[in-house]
Structure 1
């Protein structure tokens, strides 16, 4: 180089992590799980920001709150790249309306059938039997995954990929807004988003 000057090597520009808004129907187990999964995956590609909403067991209200939180963040220049809602099937009358609103608003509505604990179960065992809500609660407690509504401190997040394989085998047509068979969960979609996919 002329004049003996050396050029400093330029550092590659880091892309900012994609921000994922995750609005949950549950106010304890689901937020704890998503936050724990965030820590486990430590993806440079994406960060999930969890917002539990206390609207009772009403998927439509969950989606409405998600729209509200997403739009509020965008107005404050803190927009999200993706918006996701986690809901259970339970016996919700408003699920079809929630699916329609989510599709219209570009929100990924991820449904667990019968409920989120089905997804937690697959971190400990690859069994697909249909259980009642109470049986499922008893089983995840017996497996040491949850105590009450609190996630175990030793929750096996390292089994998230095998849980995803189980979920996809059960519901090969998995997609946002789809109510899969009982049991099923669309959580693998969030796992992929959190890995930057």
Structure 2
């Protein structure tokens, strides 16, 4: 009797972007809200699949999971795909090793110092002085009451995410430039979340142009 092997389903020729996050609520909550607001519904999942994998833990485990996700994507259509590892500086002992491993394996890094909340603050104001994690969270709560402890530290100010993200991107770039001049490229305060946001928006614009050209 002849046996037939079962073929894996063919993959749609779209783009997959995977973001593996350290945090379980704050980063995923923001990214999901950003996706809902800025990725049009007509750009279907088969065309641009933005996946968020939350709560993976310390930088080392985040990077390890990101590498596994990238390996799972390998194939003839994977050239358009990307995997991002998002985590905070804090005081993680294997922070530098995790970054080096990610870069060696082709993982894009999104690092915030001291924490992701500095990106939230940048939606509202500049911040150039050194800031501790607790102070950063407290300031974001003052600027965005919905972030408060009772709401689970989720930054989903829709007005800010929709209308102030470009201000946040500008301030994030300026913070990295300032830290670079000081000789500490990822020093406190700084974040590279804007690079991920720019990648998402660039892909959306690319797909919009392709859809328009087909009409």
State TM-score, norm by structure 2: 0.73
Paired residue secondary structure (2:83)? strand
CA contact (8 A) 1:23 1:62 kept: yes
Give the number of aligned pairs.
Answer: 178
Secondary structure (helix, strand or coil) at the match of 1:112 reads strand
- Distance in structure 2 (CA, Å) of the matches to 1:132 and 1:20: 31
Q: Please report how far the alpha carbon of residue 137 of structure 1 lies from its aligned counterpart in structure 2 after TM superposition.
A: 1.1
Gaps of 5+ in 1: 1-14
The 1-side partners of 2:176 and 2:72 are apart by: 34
- C-alpha distance in 1, partners of 2:109/2:178? 15
Q: Is the 8 A contact 2:16 2:82 kept in 1?
A: yes
The counterpart of 1:156, out of the listed 160, 170, 175, is 160
Contact 1:70/1:79 (CA < 8 Å) preserved in 2?
no
1:118 & 1:32 partners in 2: Cα distance?
A: 15
Distance (whole Å) between structure 2 residues aligned to residue 82 and residue 179 of structure 1:
23
1:167 is aligned, of 172, 179, 185, to: 172
CA distance in 1, matches of 2:52, 2:185: 22
Q: How does 1:1-197 map to 2 (within 5 A)?
A: 17-42=14-39, 44=43, 46-55=48-57, 58-74=58-74, 81-144=81-144, 146-148=147-149, 149-154=153-158, 156-157=160-161, 158-172=163-177, 180-196=186-202
- TM norm structure 1: 0.79
Higher helix share: 2
Change over 3 Å in CA distance of 1:181–1:131 after alignment to 2: same
Do the aligned residues in 1 keep the contact of 2:123 with 2:168 (CA within 8 Å)? Answer: yes
Q: Please give the alpha-carbon distance, in whole angstroms, between the structure 1 residues aligned to 2:49 and 2:109.
A: 18
Moved over 6 A (4+): 77-80
Alpha-carbon distance in 1 for matches of 2:157, 2:125: 18
Deviation at 1:47, TM superposition (A): 4.4
- Residues of 2 paired with 1:78 and 1:37: CA distance? 24
Q: Unaligned regions of 5+ residues in structure 2, if any?
A: 1-11, 204-215
